[in-house]
Amino acid sequence: MMEKTESAQIFKSIRRIVRAIDLRSREVSRVSGLTIPQIVVLQGILDLGEVTTKVLSEHADLSSATVVTILDKLEAKGLIERYRSASDRRIVHARLTKGGTEAIESLPGLLQEEFEEKFAALNAEDRQRLVAAINDIAEMLNAHKLDAAPILTTGTVTN
């Protein structure tokens, strides 16, 4: 059984992490004009190529409805384009436009530069251990069952 002091320490650390992410999300949104969910979706399209909403939602850990809304906004900004599959007109694919590729290339890092430097300075085994521990914490919090968009939309930029 977890002790009360351990529980309090864990909660305090997670709260500090959430606050740091919130501040960084606001900064990234201010600099880029994009929300974090929009950036996650753009990055997903870059990673996966021409992709369906369903595959993109699974990749980004966002609901399909959230991804559709984000794609609408990204399309309105000229960063992506959608088109129907030639083989099955019911399937819609998304791909980056030239503007979308340029936007991704100019994005600031999602994590603070200081964190990235400290993380990169760790040996590979320590980096893998930290990633595994963070994934374990997310699993323990049942975060895999949540649509990440409400959490990632702090500091939302108006369109």
Backbone φ and ψ for 96, nearest 5 degrees, come out as: -75, 145
Domain residue ranges of the chain, discontinuous segments joined by +:
4-152
Given a contact cutoff of 8 angstroms between Cβ atoms, the answer to whether 74 and 100 are in contact is: yes
Q: Are strands 92-96 and 51-52 parallel, antiparallel or unpaired?
A: antiparallel
- Distance, in Å, from the CA atom of 87 to the CA atom of 67, rounded to the nearest integer, reads 23
144 band by pLDDT with thresholds 50, 70 and 90: low
Mean residue pLDDT of the chain comes to: 87
Backbone φ and ψ for 135, nearest 5 degrees, come out as: -60, -40
- Hey, how many other C-beta atoms are within 10 angstroms of the C-beta on 92? 16
- Distance, in Å, from the CA atom of 149 to the CA atom of 154, rounded to the nearest integer, reads 9
Q: Check whether 133 has a pLDDT greater than 50.
A: yes
- Hey, how many other C-beta atoms are within 10 angstroms of the C-beta on 25? 21
> pLDDT digit string (tens) for 64-100?
999 999 999 999 999 999 998 888 888 889 999 999 9
Share of the chain above pLDDT 70, in %: 88
CATH class of 4-152: mainly alpha
